[in-house]
Structure formats: structure tokens, C-alpha cells
A and B are shown apart, each in its own frame.
Chain A
Amino acid sequence: MAALLRGLRAGRLLRGLSSVVAAPTSTTLQCSSLRRGFHCAALRLKDESKSEKHSASSSYSSSAAVPPTDLTYCAFVVNYYSGFAQSDQEQDEEYETEEQLQARILTAALEFVPLHGWSMEAISAGAEAVGLSSASTGMFTNGAGDLVLHFISQCNSNLTEILAEQHNQVQLGQVEPKKTADFLRDAVETRLRMYIPYMESWPQAMSILLLPHNIPDSLKHLSTMVDDIWYYAGDRSTDMNWYTKRAVLTGLYNSTELVMLQDSSPDFQDTWTFLDNRIQDVTNMAVTAKQMQLTGEAVAQGLMGAAVTVSFQGLFFLFNHRIKLL
């Protein structure tokens, strides 16, 4: 049984290696691609050793120890990487996690989006651009969804960096703090401008984000972005305003994004004008709401005063006329 499992794992290693060797690579890239192939194979080994550690019985003392009687080049790879397989928690500094590898591939794939759209073709092209075989797209079970979500996440990180930098400058006194309306407008504009290089294929990306299995993730990205913008705008509310502010900004962002999709004006001027007008609307609504509240309070006080006056008058009248009534 143990030998069969070892054989299966050796077979998987072989397949990993052969997928690298069989891929068409230029001679200059051959060495680095072979090294990357070992990386991938070792990644799979590491993952398998992790899962086998949990599921295997005590018959496996060291999950990385493949006896030399098996295929020799597998043994070479395994012994070379055996150190990594034993440390579950520690991360070797030069060693890349699967998430980091996926991120690298997806970032490279973004360059091919104008050509291939948001699709597995773009991801394959990206994988090849970083020197891996296009078969490594098997890592991406969600396909184009992974690519779009990765892009969104990258845009959000960029936005957060920009906002944090501006915040620092304000803290240091180098820059005047902006008014909330201006801050929101600039933040939304900065964020939407990141879509401009991909504008032609953006409707495709949006439809991918609307697929049911992608909705939770896309909503999560949207809500963290809106929360970040409000945080850097100075919002520290801990009551229902927390919710209303974020709802308003979400509406602003989504509507502006939709306008941007159909905008053909130079540098998307129409979109930014639309954004300005919506923010103006929101500001007006807030001012009106505040005025209504103050008016309501004044009216209530006035009515209370009137009630007290009328009751005093009534008592006075009764007091004066009680002689006649009696």
C-alpha cells in the first residue's frame, strides 16, 4: 500500500516535470523554465505532503523520504526539496507560495486582456510570459473570474496606497485637507480611471463579476473599497450613519461606473461631470435633511409652547369665571 502511494506520487512528480519539458520554450528560457518546473513540481509535492500528513497513518514517518530504489531523478528532486516539505508553518524567504505564484501569473495576464479579453487565453498567455507552461492555468479553477477579481483587488490596493499617501501628507501639514465632497469625487475618479486601459473589455468583466459564484467576492471587494474611501475621508461614525454613508457611496460608484461604460467623450469628461452632479445631489439631500430636522424641532417646540399657553389661558378663564359658573 505504501509502495503504491509512493509510486503514485512519483508519477505525479514525473507529470509535473514532463509538462515543463514538453512545453515549447525558447533556448534562452529553457534553464529558468526547468527551474520553475521543479518549483511547480515541488509545490505540488509540498501540497501533497501537507495533505498526506493530515490524512496518512503513522506508516509514513517522513512524507518527503522517497527511497533511492525509485526513479532516480525523482529522488534527486525530492531530496533537494525535502527541507521545504517538513516545515509546514515556516516560509522560506526565496520560496514562493501558491498564492504569490498565482498573483504573478494573473498580473502578467493583464497585459494580454486587450488582445484575448477576460478569459483563460489571457491567463495562459500570462503564464507563458512568466515562463511557465500554459497547462499551469489548471491552478485557476474559477478561470476568468480569478483574473477579474485579481485585477479588482489590485486596483483597490493601489487606491488604498494613494489615499494613505495623501492622508500622510495632510498629517504632515504639507497639503490642505479636502472637503468631503471633493475627497469622494477624487477618490472615485482615481479608482475608475484605473479601468481606462481595459475599457473596451470592461463590460465583459462586469458580466463575469455578476455570475452567481463571483458575487460574494465582488461584493466583498466593493465593500472594502467603499469602507477604505470613507475611512480616509475621515468618517469615524459608529451608528446608522456608518451604513447610510457607505450605501450612498456604493450607489455613486456603481452608477458612475455604468455611465463610464457608455461614455465616448474625450478623457471621459461626461463621466466626471455626471459624478460631480451626483455628489452635488447627495450634498443637497444631506443639507435638506438637516434643515428639515431643525425645522421639525422648532415646530415641536413651538407647539409645546402654544399648548402650555392655551392651557394656562384656559385655567385662567375658568378661574375668573368660576364665580359665574357656580
Chain B
Amino acid sequence: FTFDHHITAAMMHRMLRVDHAGEYGANRIYAGQMAVLGRSRTGPLIQQMWDQEKKHLSKFNEILAENRVRPTALLPLWNLSGFVLGASTALLGKEGAMACTVAVEESISEHYNSQIRALMESDPERYTELLQVIKEFRDDEMDHHDTGLEHDAESLPGYWLLKNAIQLGCKAAIYVSQRV
């Protein structure tokens, strides 16, 4: 027998809430990286990626306001921990910042992909606009991921450990932001 793919309003609100929290966190991570590496050679590159995240965040602010979705109550927590994550990985140097970028962008892309799947399984016509937005953002995040790899993320000592630790944290953040 088939599963019910219907997306209720509550489920939609959870999806939008966690997306908003994710873009907000990504913003703060890049802000932390810029605080440390802003005046180095990688500064302009990080600034460019940060500007794209700012656009993503403002789009989600619009979507949340339109749909009257409650933002997650943990925003102050993501504010602080995002900045701290960005700054501390940037203190490990350019490779550290790039490794953090790779880890986070991979998590976000996976997350967006599963949302795209859920929306497509449910009703692609009804959610065309939202699908378009999420696909575009997913592509941007994949670009950031690839940029991070190009700029020697993998040459960081302890890359595997750091990447997995950050991805575990991202999974926990996604889980919690959907609910709180």
C-alpha cells in the first residue's frame, strides 16, 4: 500500500522554519569567517559566498512573512554558535574555513534535496514556485561546496574528523529547529 505524501500546513511550516534557520546560521558562519579572514587573501572569496547567503536569507524572510510561519525560537543560539563555528574554523587558516564551508554546504544541499523530493512526491504543480526557489538555492550551496573543495579544504589535517563533527552538528540543528 502507498504512503500518504500529502504535506499538511504544519509540515510546510516546519520545512520553511528549518530552511530559514539554516540560511540564518550559514550567514552567521560566513560572518565569523570574515571576522578572522576578512583581510586575508581569501577575504573576497568568502565575502562573495556570504553575499549569496544574505540573498537567500532575505528571500526566506519574505516567504516566512507571507506564509505567517513562526521563526525558530533558537535563532539567538544559531546566531552565536554559527559565528563561533565560522570564527574558530577560520582560525585554523584558509583550509579550516574551506573545510567548514564544505561540511556545512554538503549538509544543507542534502537537506534541500530531501525537501525537493518530498515536494515532488506530494504535488509538483502546487509547489512550483517554492520548488524553484529551493532548487536555485540548492545549486548555489553546491557551488559553495565545490568552491571549498577547490580551495584546498581537504588538505586540512583532521579534515575527516572536523567535517563529520560539523555535519553531525548540522543534523542536530536541523532536527531541533523543525520542532522548537
Residues of A at under 8 Å CB distance from B? 227, 231, 236-240, 242-243
- A267→B68 CA distance, assembly (Å): 35
A238 and B76 in contact, given A227-B68, A231-B68 (Cβ under 8 angstroms) = no
A116 CB, nearest partner CB in chain B, Å: 37
A243–B71 alpha-carbon span in the complex (Å): 9
Instruction: Evaluate contact between B71 and A238: CB separation under 8 angstroms.
Output: yes
Cβ of A240: which chain B residues have Cβ within 8 Å of it? Answer: 75-76
* A239 x B68 contact (CB < 8 A): no
B64 CB-CB contact with A under 8 Å: yes
Residues of chain A within 8 A of B75, CB atoms compared: 239-240
B37-74 interface code vs A (CB 8 A; 1 in, 0 out) = 00000000000000000000000110011001011010
Evaluate contact between A238 and B64: CB separation under 8 angstroms: yes
Q: Are A238 and B61 in contact (CB under 8 A)?
A: yes
A selection of 6 A-B contacts at a CB cut-off of 8 Å is: A238-B60, A238-B61, A238-B65, A238-B71, A239-B71, A240-B75
Chain B CB count within 10 A is highest, among A236, A238, A239, A242, for: A238
Does B20 have its Cβ within 8 Å of any Cβ on chain A?
yes
Tell me which residues across on chain B come within 8 A of A238, comparing CB atoms: 20, 60-61, 64-65, 71
Q: Which residue of B lies closest to A227 (CB)?
A: B68
Task: Please indicate the chain A residues that have their CB under 8 angstroms from the CB of B20 in the complex.
Answer: 238
Q: Which residue of chain A has its CB nearest to the CB of B73?
A: A243
Q: How far is the CA of A239 from the CA of B28 in the complex (A)?
A: 14
Complex-state Cα separation, A279 to B68, whole angstroms? 24
Residues of A within 8 A of B65 (CB): 236-238
**With a CB–CB cut-off of 8 A, which chain B residues contact A239?**
71, 75
Known: A238-B60, A238-B65, A243-B73; 14 extra A-B contacts, CB below 8 A, are A227-B68, A231-B68, A236-B65, A237-B65, A238-B20, A238-B61, A238-B64, A238-B71, A239-B71, A239-B75, A240-B75, A240-B76, A242-B70, A242-B71
> How far, in Å, is A243 (CB) from chain B's closest CB?
6
The residue on A at minimum CB distance from B70 is A242
B61 contacts which chain A residues (CB < 8 A)? 238
In the assembled complex, the CB of A175 is this many whole angstroms from the nearest CB of chain B, namely 23
Residues in chain A near residue B60, CB distance under 8 A: 238
Interface membership of chain B positions 69-91, coded 1 if the CB is closer than 8 angstroms to chain A and 0 otherwise = 01101011000000000000000
Give the docked Cα–Cα distance between A242 and B61 (Å).
12
CA distance A126 to B20 in the complex (A): 47
With both chains docked as a complex, state the minimum distance between the C-beta of A233 and any C-beta of chain B, in angstroms: 13
